[in-house]
Amino acid sequence: MSSSTPLLAVDELSVVFRGRGSGEVRAVDGVSFTLEEGRVTGLVGESGCGKSVTSLALMGLLPDRGVEVGGSAVMRLPDGSEDLLKASRRRMRDLRGSQLAMIFQDPLSSLNPVIPIGRQVTEILQRHRGMRGAAARKEAADLLHRVGIPDPTRRLSEYPHQLSGGMRQRALIAMGVACRPRVMIADEPTTALDVTIQAQILELLKDLVTEEGTALLMITHDLGVVAGMCDDINVLYAGRAVETAQRRPLFAAPTHPYTVGLLGSIPRLDSPRGEPLTPVRGSVNDNIAWTDGCAFAPRCDHYTMECLQGPPPLVRLENGDEAEHVHRCVNPIEHAEVVDRTVLDGPAVVGDDEEERR
Amino acid sequence: MSLLQIKDLKVHFPIRRGVLFDRTVGHVQAVDGVSLEIERGSTYGLVGESGCGKTTLGRAVLRLNEITEGEVWFDGRDLAGLPAEEMRRERANLQMVFQDPLGSLDPRQNIGSILMEGLQTHGIGGPSKEDVPEGIGAKELRRLVEEDRRARVVEALEKVGLSAKALKRYPHEFSGGQRQRIGIARALVLRPDLIICDEPVSALDVSIQAQVLNLLEELQDELGLTYLVIAHDLAVVRHVSDVVGVMYLGSLVEEATSDELYAAPAHPYTRSLMSAVPVPDPTVEDTRERILLAGDLPSPANPPSGCRFHTRCPWRQEERCDTERPELRPLHGEQGSGTHRVACHYAERILSGEIRPSAERAERIVHGTG
């Protein structure tokens, strides 16, 4: 890890939604990570773990009312460091697009259907780089060409519905990179795409990171994508990071029972067939509040009474490497146990006990 | 004999234009000549990317789409020629599990009534005509039928890991995984022979996916079900299927037993598809070779001549590929065990490594071990 200050340091980010009449929802509950130039950081987790809310909070895209954002996200900017969470709306509008960019999951609903692609790309060039007319158009065509859209000048006058899913995602990436932002957030960028197209888009994002030195925050539920893309990985559960490590130690020796459970849940193309999967019990709704103990305890096959005594602290693993491996578990899985998979052989039925709790 | 046999099935959708006159200006050839067989008690996996016609094929088996041409033999009867009423009755033996568990359950019906509906439609439940007790009133008989149906519904719910308490609840009260279980219970309650699962897990979270996949396998072992699983996720299909068929642009390009297909994919499309699937293991990801296909899927309204994959194929040859459409034929040579079928003129020579992929047509990316 770099010794100097990181490009973006997110510290104890929390997002609480308060609805009228209903209790508060802690969507993100103290998430910390850093982004570095030329590195890919991954946020992995299932739906409802707070990964998308984290990205929206960083981009300043959460609504004003009913939301409370805490913590800090200090970004190193050309004119000094600044906390993104405290920046004014006007300031954020300047930063978005020029310093920070985001790619969303569904390319069709993130493009304006009644405006040609060309105008949507040149809009950014006008807003942030002050380009006009033919110059902007030429630059837009260049951008589309760079992200691998064939015949870019013709595409400029086409509407989003005339492009295929992969093309639309490429157009969005072109808009994202238009001003060479230093931080790029990709929220499930390939989930809506087919595998062959997904491979193309991931390759494009990888090139972007290595050639431009962009810091990429990759948000996804797909552990396969994470394994191929990310340098550092944060596994989120119920709004908190439960395990953080570089990708090789994380996949080779996961210690948090949730990470182990996730890895046991996915059928792999290269593993022997015929073995049943070892899923995590229950569903994401079976949580307890972090303040009472480990939120994952009700689904964990490994928990003890200790897990229910207050929030588990972050533990740094002593593994002799220079790389950090941190988890939030009082009763972690030893690697030897993972290998023979005896720990997670529990019945995988959701049935009665979940209904009882309602 | 196989339970389901599809022979040269075609489903074409007309493209209509015009305000006053409905002119048919062309056809989308969603399924264009697919033949396959599914053995009783086995699982057939159908994979392909969006727009390849896999869902249309599944729906056509149930005649939810009109069949343009071809035969669908189910348990000795050709479904394609059945009158509508007979087809409706036949559907008690062929059930479907849909992708979106919330969208396929009526939000205003409780689970009991959703599951009961199929039994009512098909008049299943209650004592058979001979077993009706003597001198029983119509009201009493109705009660017996109701009781029997309720018992069947509860049994189906228990099979999928839910309890009778679910009966009075509504779909929104359940989590995504539980809803998919209800969808499976709805199919099970009629005790069908064949269940067509259209993307049964793609809307679910990873940990829940595994639960549902395990459930499908347990049910098969217990009840001897036959599945046609349609999915885009190759790893999922490999996990559940005995035989896998790969579709591209309306036709099968390769079919083999699950193990054989994944060990030695012969068709160029299967090869690139498999190399594109990310593997959750950094060591594998860093070292394996990836074949990136250029471009997108061509339009099924105007499919390419010859082999439909030739526009994107990295192994394309000068001869035959763009002029002659390859048949699905058994693979020759020592790799072929008789069950491996492939629709490529050059499959053997590609497998042996005699024909190499051309560099301009696909980026081959080999990552260093960094």
pLDDT digits (tens, 9 = 90+) for A277-291: 888 888 777 788 888
Q: Select from B299, B326, B295, B324 the least CA-distant residue to B312.
A: B295
Helix, strand or coil, per DSSP, at residue B129: helix
* Residue pLDDT, tens place only, A94-132: 999 889 999 988 888 889 999 999 999 999 999 998 998
- Is residue A1 predicted with pLDDT exceeding 60? no
Q: Are A258 and A67 in contact (CB under 8 A)?
A: no
- B25-42: average pLDDT: 92
Which band of pLDDT confidence, cut at 50, 70 and 90, is reported for residue A53? very high
CB contact, 8 Å: B135 with chain A?
no
Which residues on chain B are in Cβ contact (under 8 Å) with A164? 296-297
- A234-251: average pLDDT: 92
- Is residue A348 predicted with pLDDT exceeding 70? no
CA distance A216 to A202: 12
- B120-124: average pLDDT: 91
* A292: region left, alpha or beta (phi > 0 left; psi from -120 to 50 alpha): alpha
pLDDT of B365 reads: 58
pLDDT of B60 reads: 94
pLDDT > 70 in chain A, percent: 91
pLDDT of B222 reads: 94
Mean pLDDT value across chain A: 85
* Residue pLDDT, tens place only, A86-104: 999 999 999 998 899 999 8
pLDDT of B337 reads: 61
What does the block give as tokens for B18? 């015009």
Helix, strand or coil, per DSSP, at residue B148: helix
CA distance A183 to A38: 10
pLDDT of A85 reads: 93
Between A331 and B84, the more confident residue is B84
Which band of pLDDT confidence, cut at 50, 70 and 90, is reported for residue A339? very low
Which residues on chain A are in Cβ contact (under 8 Å) with B181? 350
Backbone torsions φ then ψ of A219, nearest 5 degrees: -110, 125
Yes or no, beta carbons of A265 and B258 under 8 Å apart: no
CA distance B236 to B252: 19
Which band of pLDDT confidence, cut at 50, 70 and 90, is reported for residue A349? very low
Q: Select from A305, A300, A255 the least CA-distant residue to A280.
A: A300
Which band of pLDDT confidence, cut at 50, 70 and 90, is reported for residue A343? very low
pLDDT of B335 reads: 54
* Residue pLDDT, tens place only, B258-290: 989 988 899 999 999 998 888 888 888 888 888
Amino acid at site B141: L
CATH no. for A8-236 = 3.40.50.300
pLDDT of A322 reads: 60
| Residues in contact with B16: Cβ distance below 8 Å, sequence separation at least 6, in sequence order | B22, B23, B24, B25
Yes or no, beta carbons of B279 and A199 under 8 Å apart: no
Q: What are the extents of the domains in chain B? A: 4-241, 265-366
* Residue pLDDT, tens place only, A130-164: 998 899 999 999 999 888 888 889 899 999 998 88
What is the pairing mode between strands B94-97 and B194-198? parallel
Residue B358 carries which DSSP code? Answer: P
- Burial class of B284 by CB neighbour count within 10 A (0 to 12, 13 to 18, 19+): middle
- Is residue A353 predicted with pLDDT exceeding 90? no
Which residues on chain B are in Cβ contact (under 8 Å) with A280? 207, 210
Largest CA distance in chain B: 83
What is the pairing mode between strands A67-77 and A40-44? unpaired
Q: What are the extents of the domains in chain A? A: 8-236, 264-357
pLDDT of A342 reads: 38
Please provide the size of chain B in residues: 370
- B233-262: average pLDDT: 93
pLDDT of A205 reads: 92
CA distance A15 to A68: 6
C-alpha distances out from residue A327 to A67, A85, A239, A295, B5, Å: 28, 26, 14, 14, 53
Residues 119-158 of A with CB under 8 A from B: 150
CA atoms within 13 A on the CB side of A241: 24
- Is residue B160 predicted with pLDDT exceeding 80? yes
- Interface residue of A167, A283, A284 to substitute, partner B, most B CBs within 10 Å: A283
Which band of pLDDT confidence, cut at 50, 70 and 90, is reported for residue B370? very low
CA distance A295 to B7: 53
CA distance A267 to B280: 10
- Name residue, tokens 């949730």: A258
Mean pLDDT value across chain B: 88
Largest CA distance in chain A: 68
CA atoms within 13 A on the CB side of B342: 27
- Burial class of B139 by CB neighbour count within 10 A (0 to 12, 13 to 18, 19+): exposed
* Residue pLDDT, tens place only, A182-216: 999 999 998 888 888 888 889 889 998 999 899 99
Report H helices in B17-76.
54-61
Residue B358: count other Cβ atoms within 10 Å of its Cβ. Answer: 13
- B209-222: average pLDDT: 93
* Residue pLDDT, tens place only, B330-339: 987 655 567 8
CB contact, 8 Å: B280 with chain A?
yes
CA distance B41 to A344: 29
Across the beta sheet with B69-74, what order do the strands follow? B23-38, B4-17, B69-74, B77-78
CA distance B88 to B118: 11
pLDDT of A184 reads: 94
Which residues on chain A are in Cβ contact (under 8 Å) with B53? none
Annotation: CATH topology of B4-241? Rossmann fold (3.40.50)
- B210-220: average pLDDT: 93
pLDDT of A267 reads: 87
Q: What is the ipTM of this complex?
A: 0.81
What predicted TM-score, i.e. pTM, was given to this entire model? Answer: 0.85
Yes or no, beta carbons of B205 and A46 under 8 Å apart: yes
CB contact, 8 Å: A288 with chain B?
no
- Name residue, tokens 């396959």: B36
- Is residue B180 predicted with pLDDT exceeding 50? yes
CA distance B104 to A118: 39
- B291-295: average pLDDT: 81
pLDDT of B9 reads: 95
CB contact, 8 Å: A222 with chain B?
yes
- Is residue B366 predicted with pLDDT exceeding 80? no
* Residue pLDDT, tens place only, B133-150: 777 788 888 898 999 999
Yes or no, beta carbons of B210 and A348 under 8 Å apart: yes
pLDDT of A185 reads: 95
- B192-211: average pLDDT: 90
- Interface residue of A266, A278, A285, A339 to substitute, partner B, most B CBs within 10 Å: A266
CA distance B84 to B79: 10
pLDDT of A14 reads: 94
- Name residue, tokens 């130690």: A249
Helix, strand or coil, per DSSP, at residue B44: strand
SS (H, E, C) B229-248: EEECCHHHHHHHCCEEEEEE
- B3-11: average pLDDT: 95
pLDDT of A301 reads: 84
- Is residue B359 predicted with pLDDT exceeding 70? no
Residues 172-201 of B with CB under 8 A from A: 175-178, 181
Residue B313 carries which DSSP code? Answer: -
pLDDT of A289 reads: 86
CB contact, 8 Å: B134 with chain A?
no
pLDDT of A352 reads: 39
Q: What is the four-CA torsion angle of B219, B224, B230, B234, rounded to 10 degrees?
A: 70
- Is residue B5 predicted with pLDDT exceeding 60? yes
Q: Select from B362, B234, B202, B267 the least CA-distant residue to A200.
A: B362
pLDDT of B364 reads: 58
C-alpha distances out from residue A335 to A272, B258, B326, Å: 21, 31, 50
Backbone torsions φ then ψ of A73, nearest 5 degrees: -140, 90
CB contact, 8 Å: A266 with chain B?
yes
pLDDT of A251 reads: 92
Residue B150: count other Cβ atoms within 10 Å of its Cβ. Answer: 17
Which band of pLDDT confidence, cut at 50, 70 and 90, is reported for residue A347? very low
H or E element that contains B293: strand B289-293
What does the block give as tokens for A298? 């009700």
- Is residue B369 predicted with pLDDT exceeding 50? no
SS (H, E, C) chain A: CCCCCCCEEEEEEEEEEECCCCCEEEEEEEEEEEECCCCEEEEECCCCCCHHHHHHHHHCCCCCCCEEEEEEEEEEECCEEEEHHHCCHHHHHHHHHHCEEEECCCHHHHCCCCCCHHHHHHHHHHHHHCCCHHHHHHHHHHHHHHCCCCCHHHHHCCCHHHCCHHHHHHHHHHHHHCCCCCEEEEECCCCCCCHHHHHHHHHHHHHHHHHHCCEEEEEECCHHHHHHHCCEEEEEECCEEEEEEEHHHHHHCCCCHHHHHHHHHCCCCCCCCCCCCCCCCCCCCCCCCCCCCCCCHHHCCCCCHHHHCCCCCCEECCCCCCCCEEECCCCCCCHHHHHHCCCCCCCCCCHHHHHHHC
pLDDT of B360 reads: 57
